[in-house]
């Protein structure tokens, strides 16, 4: 029974009785020497006998037999390397076979000694700091890149004494970027810095930007505007560039340009509006932008009727309707000047417009506007001034002559005193409305421009001659070339330039 009161089974105590049976005699101390020196001597004798066996007399020749060759030790892969055993099956051409050094034959050992003491091991394991035996494992560095193909041999160049005659007529490297037409039309254009004997005073590139504040950011205008389109039988190019004087002084561009299409398909109507602010006005560029925006809105609301009248050739209806739209635009300008607290003459602009139908069968081009500027046509290599002529009677007022030329009243040349009920000076006479409708011919070029471009066209013969050469056959220039043409500089003309040209197919 255990201390807990359990009664163990009989078979569970058998191992205990066998081990600690009191009747078994004690083994006692051993009679063999078992000290530390005895054990060291025993190990030393055993090792010396296995390494250096005592020489014995050679046996007789008849009883001597040749020892059997020992099998080569089996080479196992070293776990410390990533050696692949199947690598040995590679063709011998890829990696040369290693030559194994011949092993020395072991000295014959007596039979008694072989039975008593085992011989040395045949498999030798290298130390950790030694290179592993056997075939080398795979490389762990990156595979070298294949050699690049050799460049083709350079073509043989002719000797310097015999230059190629074609090379003497090659174009400069920057010809395509500076002087080549953008769309293949117009041919090569000569590089002209300026026209005339003397260069202009100012540089051709912008120098200063207009002053800006946090409140007038909406009133800023870009230095250059460029646009273009193609409808029916005509191609349109339009550009507006700040003048050299304004670029140098940091003034905004006073001219404004608007190109817009109203409607779709053959009934579509294209409007081109060019406005030029008065020189010296602080808000001249704002007045020009307002005029273009308001005339564009008026034409947009009546574009269906206007397009129908142009295609039908109703000149009288077009003139009266466009006259009303223009008067409303200038009425808004005067109202805007009153809101700003400036004189109407300071917040005004010249306005010139073109109406073009998108119908390929309609070649009627309508011009209308108020103020200074120019309308020209290039036909068969010659420029024609199409500016409508205003009679002197219409410019001065109502004519005093009758149908037969007789004067209805007598002019006594008496100056009329100002009215005492007038609050200020009399308003300046209103600009007269200009209108012209013409039919274009194939090959014509119609030019609408502001006063900054119209003045040199009328006063400097070199400018129209140069443009006639550039804008002639084979076709219209690209947008970059057209912009370069509008910037042909002439000394004495440094105002803003705005123009729109229409090429007839």
Give mean pLDDT, residues 47-57. Answer: 57
Give mean pLDDT, residues 376-404. Answer: 70
Q: Is the pLDDT of residue 7 over 50?
A: yes
Q: Is the pLDDT of residue 271 over 90?
A: yes
Q: Is the pLDDT of residue 318 over 80?
A: yes
**3-state secondary structure (DSSP) of residue 248:** helix
The angle formed by the CA atoms of residues 224, 255 and 351, to the nearest 5 degrees, is 140
The angle formed by the CA atoms of residues 258, 260 and 264, to the nearest 5 degrees, is 175
C-beta of residue 459 within 8 angstroms of C-beta of residue 387:
no
Q: Is the pLDDT of residue 492 over 60?
A: yes
Strand order in the sheet with 445-449: 224-231, 234-241, 497-504, 445-449, 374-379, 382-385
Highest mean pLDDT (candidates 119-133, 167-181, 405-419) = 119-133
Q: Is the pLDDT of residue 20 over 90?
A: no
The pLDDT score that the predictor gives to residue 16 is 64
Q: Is the pLDDT of residue 458 over 80?
A: yes
Helix-helix angle 284-301:315-340, to 10 degrees? 140
Q: Is the pLDDT of residue 400 over 50?
A: no
Query: What is the band of 227 on the pLDDT scale with cuts at 50, 70, 90?
Result: very high
Q: How far apart are CA 92 and CA 39, in angstroms?
A: 55
Q: Is the pLDDT of residue 417 over 90?
A: no
Least confident range from 109-113, 284-288, 388-392: namely: 109-113
The pLDDT score that the predictor gives to residue 182 is 44
Q: Is the pLDDT of residue 342 over 80?
A: yes
C-beta of residue 265 within 8 angstroms of C-beta of residue 305:
no
What contacts 467, CB < 8 A, 6 or more positions away?
Answer: 378, 383, 485, 488
pLDDT digits (tens, 9 = 90+) for 296-313: 999 999 999 999 999 999
Helix-helix angle 303-312:315-340, to 10 degrees? 150
Query: What is the band of 282 on the pLDDT scale with cuts at 50, 70, 90?
Result: confident
Provide the mean pLDDT of the chain.
75
Least confident range from 109-118, 150-159, 169-178, 214-223: namely: 169-178
What contacts 278, CB < 8 A, 6 or more positions away?
Answer: 254, 284, 287, 345, 346, 348, 349
Residue 125, burial from CB neighbour count under 10 angstroms (0-12, 13-18, 19+): exposed
The pLDDT score that the predictor gives to residue 252 is 93
Query: What is the band of 264 on the pLDDT scale with cuts at 50, 70, 90?
Result: very high
Q: How far apart are CA 36 and CA 46, in angstroms?
A: 16
> Which residues is 502 bridged to in the sheet?
236, 446
Rg, Å, the chain Cα set: 56
């Amino acid at each position: 029974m255990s201390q807990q009161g359990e009664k163990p089974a009989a078979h569970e105590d058998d191992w205990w009785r066998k081990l600690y049976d009191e009747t078994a005699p004690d083994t006692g101390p051993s009679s063999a020497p078992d000290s530390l020196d005895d054990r060291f001597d025993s190990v030393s004798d055993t090792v010396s006998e296995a390494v250096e066996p005592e020489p014995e007399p050679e046996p007789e020749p008849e009883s001597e037999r040749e020892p059997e060759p020992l099998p080569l030790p089996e080479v196992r892969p070293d776990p410390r390397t990533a050696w692949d055993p199947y690598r040995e099956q590679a063709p011998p051409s890829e990696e040369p076979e290693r030559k194994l050094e011949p092993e020395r034959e072991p000295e014959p050992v007596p039979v008694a000694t072989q039975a008593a003491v085992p011989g040395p091991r045949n498999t030798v394991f290298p130390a950790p700091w030694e290179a592993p035996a056997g075939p080398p494992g795979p490389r762990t560095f990156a595979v070298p890149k294949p050699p690049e193909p050799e460049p083709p041999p350079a073509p043989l160049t002719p000797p310097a004494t015999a230059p190629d005659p074609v090379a003497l007529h090659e174009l400069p490297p920057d010809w395509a970027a500076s002087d080549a037409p953008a769309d293949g039309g117009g041919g090569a254009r000569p590089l002209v810095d300026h026209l005339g004997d003397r260069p202009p005073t100012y540089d051709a590139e912008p120098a200063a930007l207009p002053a800006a504040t946090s409140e007038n950011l909406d009133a800023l205008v870009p230095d250059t505007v460029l646009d273009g389109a193609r409808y029916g039988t005509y191609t349109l190019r339009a550009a507006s560039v700040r003048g050299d004087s304004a670029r140098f002084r940091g003034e905004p561009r006073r001219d404004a340009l608007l190109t817009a299409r109203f409607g779709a398909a053959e009934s579509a109507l294209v409007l081109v509006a060019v406005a030029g602010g008065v020189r010296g006005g602080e808000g001249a560029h704002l007045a020009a932008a307002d005029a273009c925006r308001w005339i564009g809105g008026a034409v947009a609301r009546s574009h269906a009727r206007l397009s129908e009248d142009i295609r039908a050739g109703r000149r009288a209806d077009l003139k009266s309707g466009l006259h009303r739209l223009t008067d409303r635009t200038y009425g808004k300008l005067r109202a805007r000047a009153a809101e700003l607290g400036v004189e109407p003459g300071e917040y005004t602009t010249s306005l010139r417009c073109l109406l073009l139908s998108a119908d390929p069968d309609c070649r009627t081009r309508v011009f209308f506007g108020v103020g200074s500027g120019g309308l020209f046509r290039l036909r068969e290599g010659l420029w024609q001034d199409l500016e409508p002529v205003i009679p002197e009677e219409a410019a001065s007022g109502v004519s005093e002559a009758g149908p037969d030329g007789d004067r209805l009243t007598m002019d006594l040349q008496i100056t009329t005193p100002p009215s005492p009920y007038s609050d200020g000076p009399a308003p300046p006479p209103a600009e007269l409305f200009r209108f012209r409708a013409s039919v274009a011919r194939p090959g014509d070029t119609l030019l609408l421009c502001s006063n900054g471009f119209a003045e040199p066209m009328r006063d400097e013969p070199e400018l129209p001659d140069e443009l006639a050469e550039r804008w002639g056959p084979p076709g219209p220039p690209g947008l970059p070339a057209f912009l370069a043409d509008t910037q042909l500089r002439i000394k004495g003309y440094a105002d803003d330039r705005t123009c729109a040209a229409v090429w007839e197919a």
